[in-house]
Structure 1
Amino acid sequence: MNNQLIQWYQHRHKNYSHENQPSLESQIYLNQLNSDILAPVEKRFGSITITYGFTSNTLLNYIRKHSPGDMCPKIDQHTSMEMNARGNRVCERDGAACDFYVAGYEDKMDIIAKFIVSHLKFDRLYFYGKTRPIHISVGPDNRRYALLRNTRSDGLRVNGKSAIGDATRKLFDSV
């Protein structure tokens, strides 16, 4: 799975010609993301597809130039522990993140989210809807924070309800 976490961009950014290799510090969190989240989800539900995974600073700069969108590298943990060209961390939060689907659950991702908040240790989970990939991260604190993101009629994503800890289980009762 770690290979897919690192090479996810090859399907979406075919013209990107550089490496997307994590530092050793980032690799530690990517291994944790794999063992604490992805492996248990895959064991329980089946094959996972990473739609947005580890993003080196070089890949981030490429994405910003060629397909910017709804992203926030300073806090989303996709760059993990990587440094920018000035030697500063890209993301202010420790950890690693990815967005993913589970085969056969592409229109039932709420079931996957409910499993994660009920059974696994995680830092942040952003839920964009039953038919969208789940954003999940791990980190040293594993705050167990979940946020429902809604899409307005004009296409803009906005924050909805959120919860921390055991309250995240109730958050998905109304989804």
Structure 2
Amino acid sequence: MARRFNNLKSALRYLRPPGANANSVVPDAPEGTQLRKFQDYRAGKVVVKITRATDSLPGNETFCSLKPFALLASETEKYLVNLSHRASEAIASTGLSFTEHLNVDTTPSGTAGLEKEKGFVPAKATVSIVPTGVGTPTESKLTGDTYKKKATKTYTYPFGAGTTHTNYKTAKAAIIAAASTGTANRGVSFKPEKF
């Protein structure tokens, strides 16, 4: 559970009388409080359903191809990997390019000479686009408290080795530089490949 709930978890422990056994039952928090709402959620008395907005659903997936970083520079083998249609459609808004920064071929001609390697997970870059402003007041489904939520959009892309950016470190640096360019408020995080 997110670190932001640590205070509430501590407050639940303090509901016990001083000197009580750590395994003793925690008394109910006062009815109608944020702490009670959180306590009921933790106890499984309340089911929280979060519905994703239509424009945040990944949609269909397609194949693209890339060269894994684990292969030798002299090797030309490429592997098939998945790419969501949603991320593909939003590439322009991220500041990235499939060929220049991600080293990905989005239209591999058939699957001849390409493999979907079992156990291989490509390196991934997740670009977040955060709108300016203070955000929309939104009620927490766990506590009932109001917080300001921004309509942040995130897109995840596989990336691999290319002719210019031949290793993970330089490819990652190129993606960071591209995502940082322009007036959009963007951030990017990474997961290395598993080979």
TM-score by structure 1 length?
0.29
Bigger helix share: 1
Choose 1 or 2 for highest CA Rg.
2
* Bigger relative contact order (CA 8 A; separation at least 6): 2
